[in-house]
Amino acid sequence: MIGVLRQTAVYRAGVSGRRPRVPTDAAGLEGRARKAMPREAFAYIAGGAGTGATIRANREGFDRRRIVPRMLRDVSGRDSGIELLGRRLASPFLLSPVGVLEMAHEEADLAVARAASAEGVPMIFSNQASKPMEACAAAMGQGPRWFQLYWSTSNDLVESFVGRAEACGCEAIVVTLDTTLLGWRTQDLDLAYLPFLRGKGIAQYTSDPVFRRIIATEPAQLGPDEQPKPTPAALRTLVQLTRAYPERFVNGLRSGHARAAVQTFTRIYSRPSLSWEDLPFLRERTKLPILLKGILHPDDAARAVDEGMDGVIVSNHGGRQVDGATSTIEALPGIARAVDGRVPIVLDSGVRSGADAFKALALGATAVGIGRPYAYALAIAGEAGVRELLQNLKADFDLTLGLSGCRSVAEIGPEALTEPASGPFATPR
């Protein structure tokens, strides 16, 4: 009954003159976050690939599907919980992996981990996190957590990441497939800003024993053209990335480890040659469930199941990779048919409300992932902001469920939605 409780809490606080810390409306949230962040940080988080067509498509996809509420069904007792990979969750929301959260707030992943754990929402630790997974896990108690992997060119590093994730109590490994190359991100390109080159978002690497060994034994060699020109800006960057490295600043400057870490990271973080043939390597090295993230085609989803994967995440990376890629809600029905209930389907990209989650569940998703909204809430109000955002999403979903005439997630089916409207008129099924 979280919906009514949350509403009541907000309105009661209003009587004493207090307003919510973070806007409940998605556009308002983004607007406030823009003001709270430096220009480069907001561009990195909000931006997408190319013209932003897929960011828009993600929203349009949800908007074209409409809910048809049913009446007189006694929705006084509701359960908005789901079952996912053997765990009971109070709501269908997960926190999708978002890297470089230090751009939003200095407590970064730690603040998010505490908020997620307090709200019982699983957090997927990013491979590009700003804080090592061990620190986040320690902040979470028994809170559910998964680890997201970018498959490095070094299989030793892959193995090390996965071993650490197991030791941290992660309950699943998410392999992100859609970012073996970085998309053409126009906002970041125009600002000539990539956080990793400033030592941000590489904490999983700099805290890793295999990565440190690689730096020591295979130092990256820069060609004469790759050496940064010794300008004041380059000096500032050197100071920044040395500060970001887990070593005393003076030692870091002297040892050159910080710069070597960035160079080594750039060289090995991703493997564009990744193919289906690589998956058994991972399957043989962990007993944890493996989910493939970035699936948009039914055939890829079916193959993932055939290859022994335990779930798929329908995602276009929030429109950050292929400009013009299909929206995830459009891709979902075909994927749900191909998967046919054999493994859970998580959907992210553009999910902003309880109604979006309802629509995704109606079309076959088991759960939904949230990306940018929690980075925005973090930027606005830190841990408390992320907590509020999660409470709002859970409340909104609970109310949407009941007001649509459903008492539980099991009662949400495709008949609860109209066919996607191409014109102004939508027809009930």
Q: Which residue has the tokens 């019982």?
A: 120
Contacts of 106 (CB under 8 A, 6+ apart): none
Q: Kind and range of the H or E element at 162?
A: helix 155-167
Name the segment binding ligand FMN (CB under 6 A); options: 182-190, 270-278, 353-361, 367-375.
367-375
Are the beta carbons of 297 and 155 closer than 8 angstroms? no
Check residue 99 for interaction with ligand FMN (CB under 6 A).
yes
Check residue 350 for interaction with ligand FMN (CB under 6 A).
yes
CB neighbourhood size of 233 (10 A): 11
* Angle of the 39-46 helix axis to the 26-36 helix axis, nearest 10: 150
Question: Is the sign of the CA dihedral 189, 294, 36, 265 positive or negative?
Answer: negative
Query: Closer CB to ligand FMN, residue 252 or residue 354?
Result: 354
DSSP letter (8 states) at residue 220: P
Query: Closer CB to ligand FMN, residue 389 or residue 395?
Result: 389
**With the CA atoms of 393, 413, 293 and 340 taken in that order, what torsion angle do they form, in degrees rounded to the nearest 10?**
160
Return d(Cα 80, Cα 86) in angstroms, integer: 16
Q: Kind and range of the H or E element at 225?
A: none
Check residue 122 for interaction with ligand FMN (CB under 6 A).
no
Candidate list 105, 257, 297, 317, residue with the active-site label: 317
Cα end-to-end distance, the chain, whole Å = 29
Query: Closer CB to ligand FMN, residue 68 or residue 194?
Result: 194
Check residue 351 for interaction with ligand FMN (CB under 6 A).
yes
The 297-326 site mask, x for binding ligand FMN (CB under 6 A), equals ------------------x-xx-x------
Check residue 348 for interaction with ligand FMN (CB under 6 A).
yes
Name the segment binding ligand FMN (CB under 6 A); options: 60-68, 92-100, 154-162, 334-342.
92-100
Return d(Cα 94, Cα 108) in angstroms, integer: 17
Check residue 331 for interaction with ligand FMN (CB under 6 A).
no
CB of 208 to ligand FMN, least distance (A): 16
Which residue among 54, 80, 117, 128 contacts ligand FMN (CB under 6 A)?
128
Return d(Cα 376, Cα 105) in angstroms, integer: 10
- Residue 415: what residue type? E
Please give the distance of CA 241 from its chain centroid, rounded to a whole number. Answer: 24
Closest residue to ligand FMN in the complex (CB): 371
Are the beta carbons of 81 and 367 closer than 8 angstroms? no
Which residue among 91, 117, 126, 404 contacts ligand FMN (CB under 6 A)?
126
Query: Closer CB to ligand FMN, residue 6 or residue 293?
Result: 293
- Range 369-408, binding ligand FMN (CB under 6 A): 370-372, 375
The 251-290 site mask, x for binding ligand FMN (CB under 6 A), equals ----------------------------------------
- Residue 336: what residue type? A
The 142-181 site mask, x for binding ligand FMN (CB under 6 A), equals ------x---------------------------x-----
Beta bridge partners of 417: 67
CB of 124 to ligand FMN, least distance (A): 7
Check residue 198 for interaction with ligand FMN (CB under 6 A).
no
CB of 257 to ligand FMN, least distance (A): 23
Query: Closer CB to ligand FMN, residue 117 or residue 127?
Result: 127
Query: Closer CB to ligand FMN, residue 49 or residue 139?
Result: 49
Q: What angle do CA 46, 150, 237 make, to 5 degrees?
A: 60
Return d(Cα 34, Cα 200) in angstroms, integer: 20
CB neighbourhood size of 306 (10 A): 10
Look up 105 and say whether it is catalytic.
Answer: no
Residues acting as catalytic residues: 317
Interaction site with ligand FMN (CB under 6 A) = 44-45, 58, 96-99, 126-128, 148, 176, 293, 315, 317-318, 320, 348-351, 370-372, 375
